[in-house]
Each structure stands twice: as C-alpha cells, then as structure tokens.
Amino acid sequence: MSLIKEIFTSSVGRKIAMALSAFFLMVFLLQHLTINLTSVFSEELFNELSHFMGTNPVVQFILQPVLIFGVVFHFVMGFALEIKNKKAREVSYAKNNGSANSSWFSRNMIWSGLFILFFLIFHFKDFWVPEMVYKYVQFKPSDPNRYYHEVVEMFHSPLRVGVYILAFVFLTLHLLHGFSSAFQSVGANNKYTESLKMVGKVYAILVPLGFIFIALWLHLNG
Amino acid sequence: MNLTLKIWRQKSPKDQGKMVDYPVSDISEHMSFLEMMDVLNETLIAKGEEPVAFDHDCREGICGMCSMYINGEAHGPDRGVTTCQLHMRKFKDGDTIYIEPFRAKAFPVIKDLSVDRSSFDRIQQAGGYISVNTSGNTQDANAIPIPKDDADLAMDAATCIGCGACVATCKNSSAMLFVGAKVSQYALLPQGQVEASQRVQNMVKQMDDEGFGNCTNTGACEVECPKGISLTNIARLNREFLSAKASSKN
Ligand code: SF4
Ligand code: FES
C-alpha cells in the first residue's frame, strides 16, 4: 500500500500514473473508432457490435467502470498537477517567450483537456445517459436493431456535428503532445523515440479525423 | 548601440518589486551581457543610485552562477550559452530588453536579479554523491572498465552546472532536468550502483519538498539549457525511480 501511496504522492510517480491512464485511453479510442467505423459500411455489423457492447456483462460491469475510472482519473490528476504546477511559480514573468522553446500544444494541454472534458459531458448526455436510462431505469426490452438509427438521429443536427468536429480538433492538439509525452513519462526514450514521435503524429491526426469522417458521413448519408 | 532595459528591481526578499526602465548608450556589440550590466551599474553608482544586483562568478560559462531571464528566455536568446557568455551582438541598436530574475517558488528572489538556488544544493545533498572511503587505499576509478558509450553519456549528464535555467524556463517550474542529470551521471556508472536506489528516491523526495512543479515533457528545458542536457536524462530518472520503488525494501 505504501508503494501505491508513494507513487501517487511523488512528482515522478504521478507523471507515470498520468501516462498509464493515457495509454489506456488511447487504446480505448482505437477500439471506439473501430466500432464506429463499421457504421459507415454495415448497419448490421454496427448494430451487432453495439448490442454486444451494450449487453455483455463483462463489458457493462467490468470494462465500463474501469473506463469511467480511467477517464475520471486522467482528468482529476491532470487538474491536480496543473494546480500544483501553477503554485510552483508565484510571480509570473513580465515577458515570456514560450514559443522559442516548446510547442503550443505542449504548453496548453490543460486547455485542450478542458475542452475535451466539456465535450465528454455533452457526449455522455447524448449517448451514455439515454442508454443507461433505457436499460437500467426504464428496463425497456433489448432491441438489437435500434443503435444505428439512434446514431443517425443524433447526427442530423448540424450544430451537434460542428461541436463534435471541434472537439476532435482539440483531441488532435492534445494527442500531438500527449502520445509521445506518455512514452517519455514511463521512461521510454531510446533509439525508437524519433519513429515513435512520427507514429504519435499519425495517431493524433488520423484517429480524430476518423471520428470526424464518421460524424460527417452519418450526417450526410444517414 | 543604444538600448532600453526593463529590469526587475526588488530591494529585499519581502519587497513587492517592479519593472524599471533604464536607457543605456554606447554599448559595444563585443561586450558580454554582464559587461553591459556592469556599464549600467557604473552609471547608476555615478548618479548615486543603487546598482542592480545580479549573480555571477566565473564569467566563462562553467560555474552556473549567472542567471537572468532575458527577453522571455533563460540566459537570453542564444543557444547553449549562459548569460555571461551571451554577447551583445545578439541584439540590435534601439532594442528593448526585458531582464528578470529566474522565477520559481523554490528560487526566492534575494535582491533584484539575484535568486536563492540553495534548493538545488539540498537536492544534491539528499543523494547527488557517492560515498567513497578516503582511507588511503581507495581504488583508482580508472581501474574499473566502463563502456565508452556509458562513460560519454555520464559525462554529458555531468556537464550540468546547476544554473537553474531549466526550472526558470519550465512552465511548471520543474527541476527534473537538473535532477535527471544528477541522477544519470551516477546511474550510468558502476560506482553509482551501490546507492542508486536510495539516491533517486531521496533526490526526488527533496525536489518535491522544495516546491518544484511537475514535468509535463514540454521539452523547453532542454532547449534553454546552456549545457545541452537532454530529455533522455529525465526518462532515465523516471526509470530509475520506478525500479527503485518497485524493488525498495523500505
Ligand atoms: S540541466 Fe541545464 S539548465 Fe538545468 S541546471 Fe543543469 S545546466 Fe542548468
Ligand atoms: S558566471 Fe559562471 S557560468 Fe556565468
């Protein structure tokens, strides 16, 4: 127990914990994207997968709580660190030339993160809350064919599509630093680092772009 | 050249402090930044005003004593140099130059541009050494074979002069580049292994107790470090810390 405590109270330990939760969330994003992509080419497959995810007890009662914990942990720890870091400099510089030595997105992770948090609240209200109410409050009968239509319905609104696109742009900004940063935090800085940074850039652009494509596709063709 | 300096003036640690404008004229481009500050101070003394306090010692880039946040960058706009090695040719006639102290809660201002960096000393004292018996029969360090690559990396880490530019630059006022360098210079060598686990744990604990912030890998420190200390040292610090915690018995 004291090991866990020491890790969560020390600066290096927190940074490693932050990175581990980031890895978990990045894997989750890939899984989420894969399932969503099926909606573009096969209504049946999308419904089938959604039904499985929505009814399988392992997914519902083990993976889902773990995911929620991962998300909450990443945000809470991110804010806690930001507050601590702000306190580490009481008087700010009259002139600070941050762009001379670091990227904009690396210095503004808290802002891209905050925007993503607001989006997630919105996203939960759109999909997760109705889903929970449907299944665990109203106890409606399970309908394996409802998912595709629900999603299409959601993306009718151009305003919603706009908000989603904007959120994914922020996700790209967050990942452009976050992907490679997570590897550095767990101590992986070696001969593969330069290639890994490239992979990070590709991930940071392609994954959110995939989500944007799906939102637009459903809006236009759904 | 003629310049306008905007300098942070603060009488004492408790004083509020503020930026004050000073014009300086006839500055040679061959002067170092500190020589330019000397010229300013001479004119201030001649006028009966209080000269600007700033830290310096060797003036040849090796002691780590000079500091100053110049135009928004630690040690100014040049790369791989300390303030004492920064030349006025980096500036143009008519420029306005902001000069501020290195800012961090763990580096309190003593006076004007002079800050107290003894927090770095305390981190070093917490583990930045190896205990060697000086009984007269100490083994010659060169008798232990060390791979050239490791020796080179250890030497690179050991070039850190403890100036604190990494902290001053970091948006989080993190001292991890400094601590990473100080941990690495021993972690890479056989002599450092005996106390490796205690070293990294104690130094990180001291760093946290001093009130430094938490590294978010922006990489600004490595760009501004006058000695080119690389981020790989922070990664090594993280690895050392993790393996020390995982195998620690106390
Ligand atoms: S790591 Fe570089 S910037 Fe930091 S104290 Fe050492 S020499 Fe100065
Ligand atoms: S005065 Fe010694 S490094 Fe600048």
* pLDDT, tens only, B54-101: 999 999 999 999 999 999 999 999 999 999 999 999 999 999 999 999
Residue B104 sits in the same domain as residue B206: no
A143 to A36, A47, A58, A147, A151: CA distances (angstroms)? 19, 10, 19, 8, 14
Q: Name the CA dihedral angle for B150, B155, B157, B163, rounded to a multiple of 10 degrees.
A: 180
pLDDT, mean of residues A72-82: 96
Residue B83 sits in the same domain as residue B129: no
Q: Which residues of A touch B211 (CB under 8 A)?
A: 87-88
Query: Band of the pLDDT at B142, cuts 50, 70, 90?
Result: confident
pLDDT by residue (tens digit) across A118-152?
999 999 999 898 888 888 888 888 888 889 999 99
Q: How many structural domains are present in chain B? A: 2
Q: Which of A3, A109, A189 is opposite residue B235, by nearest beta carbon?
A: A189
Query: Band of the pLDDT at B200, cuts 50, 70, 90?
Result: very high
Q: What is the rounded radius of gyration, in angstroms, for the C-alpha atoms of chain A?
A: 20
Q: Which ligand is nearest to the CA of A101?
A: 1
Residue B102 sits in the same domain as residue B156: no
Query: Band of the pLDDT at B159, cuts 50, 70, 90?
Result: very high
User: 3-state class of A3 per DSSP?
Assistant: helix
Query: Band of the pLDDT at A221, cuts 50, 70, 90?
Result: confident
ipTM score assigned to the predicted complex: 0.92
Average pLDDT score over chain B: 96
Residue B130 sits in the same domain as residue B178: yes
The pLDDT value given to residue B250: 58
Listed residue (A7, A172, A106, A171) closest to B217, CA to CA: A106
Q: Which atom of ligand 1 is nearest to the CA of B161?
A: 7
Check whether A2 has a pLDDT greater than 80. Answer: no
Please count the CA atoms within 13 angstroms of the CA of A112 that sit on its side-chain side: 18
Instruction: Report CB contact under 8 Å: A16, B238.
Output: yes
The pLDDT value given to residue A216: 96
Residue A97 forms contact with B (CB below 8 Å): yes
Residue B128 sits in the same domain as residue B101: no
Q: Which residues of A touch B176 (CB under 8 A)?
A: 11-12
Exposure class string for B211-240: b at 16+ Cβ within 10 A, else e: bbbbbbbbbbbbbbbbbebbbbbbbbbbbb
CATH number of residue B127's parent domain:
1.10.1060.10
Check whether B12 has a pLDDT greater than 80. Answer: yes
Q: Where are the domains of chain A?
A: 2-221
Residue B107 sits in which domain range? 3-111
pLDDT by residue (tens digit) across A98-112?
999 999 999 999 999
The pLDDT value given to residue A144: 84
Listed residue (B230, B75, B45) closest to B168, CA to CA: B75
Give this prediction's pTM: 0.94
Q: Is any ligand 1 atom within 6 A of the Cβ of residue B75?
A: no
pLDDT, mean of residues B183-208: 95
Q: Is any ligand 2 atom within 6 A of the Cβ of residue B64?
A: yes
Residue B31 sits in the same domain as residue B57: yes
Residue B10 sits in the same domain as residue B64: yes
User: Which residue type, as a one-letter code, is found at position A144?
Assistant: P
Q: Between residues 163 and 192 of chain B, which touch chain A (CB distance below 8 Å)?
A: 169, 171-174, 176
The residues with which B70 forms a beta bridge, in sequence order, are: B73, B99
Q: How far is CA B85 from the centre of its chain?
A: 14
CA distance A209 to chain B (A): 24
Residue B26 sits in the same domain as residue B131: no
Among B62, B84, B111, give the residue marking a domain's end: B111
Q: Which atom of ligand 1 is nearest to the CA of B233?
A: 1
Listed residue (B83, B79, B16, B3) closest to B43, CA to CA: B3
CATH number of residue B56's parent domain:
3.10.20.30
Residue B47 sits in the same domain as residue B130: no
Residue B106 sits in the same domain as residue B146: no
Instruction: Report CB contact under 8 Å: A89, B174.
Output: no
Q: Which ligand is nearest to the CA of B55?
A: 2
The pLDDT value given to residue A7: 75
- Pairing of β B69-70 and β B96-100: antiparallel
Residue B84 sits in the same domain as residue B48: yes
| Span from the CA of B163 to the centroid of ligand 2 (angstroms) | 8
Q: Which residues of A touch B106 (CB under 8 A)?
A: 88
| Span from the CA of B219 to the centroid of ligand 1 (angstroms) | 13
pLDDT by residue (tens digit) across A25-60?
999 999 999 999 999 999 999 999 999 999 999 999
Structure token pair of residue B192: 């450092």
Q: Which atom of ligand 2 is nearest to the CA of B58?
A: 2
Residue B202 forms contact with A (CB below 8 Å): no
Check whether B133 has a pLDDT greater than 80. Answer: no
pLDDT by residue (tens digit) across A12-24?
999 999 999 999 9
pLDDT, mean of residues B152-176: 98
Residue B66 sits in the same domain as residue B170: no
Check whether A1 has a pLDDT greater than 60. Answer: no
Q: Which of A7, A95, A187 is opposite residue B72, by nearest beta carbon?
A: A95
Query: Band of the pLDDT at A5, cuts 50, 70, 90?
Result: confident
Q: Name the CA dihedral angle for A123, A128, A129, A135, rounded to a multiple of 10 degrees.
A: 160
pLDDT by residue (tens digit) across A167-194?
999 999 999 999 999 999 999 999 999 9
CB atoms closer than 10 angstroms to residue A7: 17
Instruction: Report CB contact under 8 Å: B245, A7.
Output: yes
CA distance B83 to chain A (A): 16
Q: Which residues of A touch B217 (CB under 8 A)?
A: 106, 177, 180-181, 184-185
CB atoms closer than 10 angstroms to residue B198: 14
Among B56, B84, B111, give the residue marking a domain's end: B111
Check whether A69 has a pLDDT greater than 60. Answer: yes
